[in-house]
Amino acid sequence: MAEPLRIGIVGAGGMGGHHARELQKRPDARVVALCDVADQALTGAAAYFAERGEHPARYTDLAAMLAGEHLDGVVVATPHTRHAAHLSAALDAGCHVLCEKPMATTAADARAVTDLAERRGRVLAIAYQRHGDPFYRRAHEIVASGVLGDIRLITVLIAQDCLANFLPGRTWRADPELSGGGHFMDTGSHIVDMLLFVSGLQPASVFANIDNYGTLVDVLTALSIRFEGGAVGTFAATSLSPEWREEFSFYGDRGVLNLRGEMTLHLKGSAPQAQSGTGPAVTPVANWIAAIRGEAPVQAPPLYGLRVAQISEAAYASQKSGRNEPVR
């Protein structure tokens, strides 16, 4: 086996800690450095490794970590608006990067980091875990097969009980300077990504109705989206639900594919048919390592980060203007 890849983590709490723990269990990678401005996150992550006889170097500054360590890759799991700067620094240092969602909060930043990764010849992957989920992968395959005909309408809903994350002062997600937005920018990023991944469509314009519900960020979001080629879609998100609901419907001119905990394909003239995922689940970390080693393509490449940023940017612009806004 080749030498284990040397990995640094910037943003060691939450999802950064999750990815660090998965990496620690792999024989083909080693977490050699941790970076976070929050002492609690840094201490907690370091304690996890210490319990297993490992002692990654600790940093509070990304530039210092990149200068002080010989790294093959960096996991970026910092607040959303910091992603572009941290991606650029890691790529400029010659590192492959796995980035938590959203890859960027603006389309310009998404294009810039994508171009930089291409120029540096480095793997840039987004930690959109649904790309490696057999359930959503099968949905993508069904739509791509053409069995539904032309996709004409998409309806999407994400409902969660997560208002506490967006109350002022509770978490960094409540601060638009760090988060770039609320529920729509956070969990909504995953849902918009799947809307695009499964459908294969490109967004053209967005009209938004957004309610901050007394906070500084979005809590309730309703979007009307038009896609290249004329298809239309709706996206709805709420942080006020007592239950988690995640629903997608892809309506073509020959049938519909529904994803509502279960997957059902209903073609015109036929009875609904239950569908199941195929193949193994592949985590973002596992796919990233395989891509670095040239063993697999990136399952959530930067293009999806750009498309999500385009929709997000157009949605927030529409909320300000009160008009339909083009995707740029």
146-159, pLDDT tens digit by residue? Answer: 999 999 999 999 99
Q: How confident is the model at residue 129 (pLDDT cuts 50, 70, 90)?
A: very high
**Nearest residue to 31 (alpha-carbon basis) of 91, 87, 75:** 75
**Residue 110, pLDDT above cutoff 60:** yes
Cα 100 to its chain centre, rounded Å, is 6
CATH of domain 130-279+301-326: 3.30.360.10
Residue whose tokens read 């069995």: 147
What percentage of the chain has pLDDT greater than the value 90?
Answer: 99
Confidence of residue 91 (pLDDT cuts 50, 70, 90): very high
> Does the pTM exceed 0.75?
yes
Answer yes or no: same fold for 5-128 and 130-279+301-326.
Answer: no
Element (H, E) at 248: strand 240-252
Confidence bin at 257 (pLDDT 50/70/90): very high
275-278: long-range contacts at Cβ-Cβ below 8 A with a sequence spacing of 24 or more?
275/138, 275/139, 275/142, 276/134, 276/135, 276/138, 277/133, 277/134, 277/135, 277/136, 277/137, 277/138, 278/134, 278/137, 278/138, 278/141
* Tokens read off for 135: 């359930």
Half-sphere exposure of 62 (CA within 13 A, CB side): 23
Percent above pLDDT 70 for the chain: 100
Most distant pair of Cα atoms in the chain: their distance: 65
Dihedral sign, Cα of residue 188, residue 92, residue 43, residue 47: positive
pLDDT value at 327 more than 90: yes
Q: Looking at the domain that runs over 5-128, which CATH code has it been given? A: 3.40.50.720
Average pLDDT, the chain: 97
Using 50, 70 and 90 to split pLDDT, how confident is the model at 1? low
Is the pLDDT at 2 greater than 90, yes or no?
no
Q: What is the pLDDT of residues 118-127, one digit of tens each?
A: 999 999 999 9
Angle between helices 14-24 and 284-292 (to 10 degrees): 60
d(CA 39, CA 44): 8
Q: How confident is the model at residue 84 (pLDDT cuts 50, 70, 90)?
A: very high
**Can you give the residue ranges of every domain in the chain?**
5-128, 130-279+301-326
148 DSSP 8-state letter: T
